[in-house]
Amino acid sequence: MSGKAIFIDGIFIDPEIANSYFACDIEKCKGACCFMEGEYGAPLLEEEIDLIKNSLSVVKKYLPEKNVKFIEENGFFEKTEIGYSTKCINNRECVFVFWENGIARCSFEKAFLNGEISFRKPVSCHLFPLRNYSLNGALVGGDVLKYVKISECKPAIKKGEREKIKLYEFLKPALTRHFGQEWFNKMVKIFESLNNGR
């Protein structure tokens, strides 16, 4: 993290979050965060595993047949050294991705927006490009909120700068979902003070 970390109610916050601009531009990135190359998929909270299990019967209809078959044969999550994560197909595509006009989409979010389930998507996905690390190494539900920059998100940075949308403003729904409205309000107050030079 650059600069002095901000501390709110047990969470260290990357100071870059205070003045960075960001707004997803999915037409440009094609949903790249859903099919990034890597050994593991999205980090999961332990309690999200049951939420996903309870939503499977609904979201399966949005998935390609190969994904459904993969889940039936291999399951949808795995235990890692630092927690849990969704599984990936060929170490790349999240098993819950479907494609729409060349863009990777989340089957949970599709069902959520259609009013079919109450679980929107894993918190780690909702927060991205922020990662809620734990001091013991876990990638979600932890003590540190860090801004993770990847090249695929450059269009989002440009869009945020163009439209004057701060990263934390764009992620307000995810931040309030995970940390609560009161915590978010505290963070905004501190950020505004920093940005105003006070």
With 70 as the cut, is the pLDDT of residue 116 above it?
A: yes
More confident residue, 65 or 193: 65
With 50 as the cut, is the pLDDT of residue 1 above it?
A: no
Integer Cα distance of 135 and 156 in angstroms: 28
More confident residue, 178 or 83: 178
Among 2-11, 19-28, 91-100, 115-124, the least confident range: 2-11
Please tell me the total count of domains within the chain: 1
pLDDT at 185: 97
pLDDT at 80: 84
HSE (CB half, 13 Å, CA atoms) of 98?
15
How confident is the model over 13-39, as a mean pLDDT?
91
Confidence bin at 159 (pLDDT 50/70/90): very high
How confident is the model over 115-136, as a mean pLDDT?
90
List for the chain the helix, strand, coil content (%; round to 5): 45, 20, 35
HSE (CB half, 13 Å, CA atoms) of 58?
20
pLDDT at 197: 65
101 occurs within a structural domain? yes
With 60 as the cut, is the pLDDT of residue 138 above it?
A: no
1 occurs within a structural domain? no
How confident is the model over 109-121, as a mean pLDDT?
96
pTM recorded for the entire structure = 0.89
More confident residue, 195 or 90: 90
Quick count: other Cβ atoms within 10 Å of Cβ 145?
A: 24
> Which structural domain, as residue segments, surrounds residue 170?
6-195
With 80 as the cut, is the pLDDT of residue 139 above it?
A: no
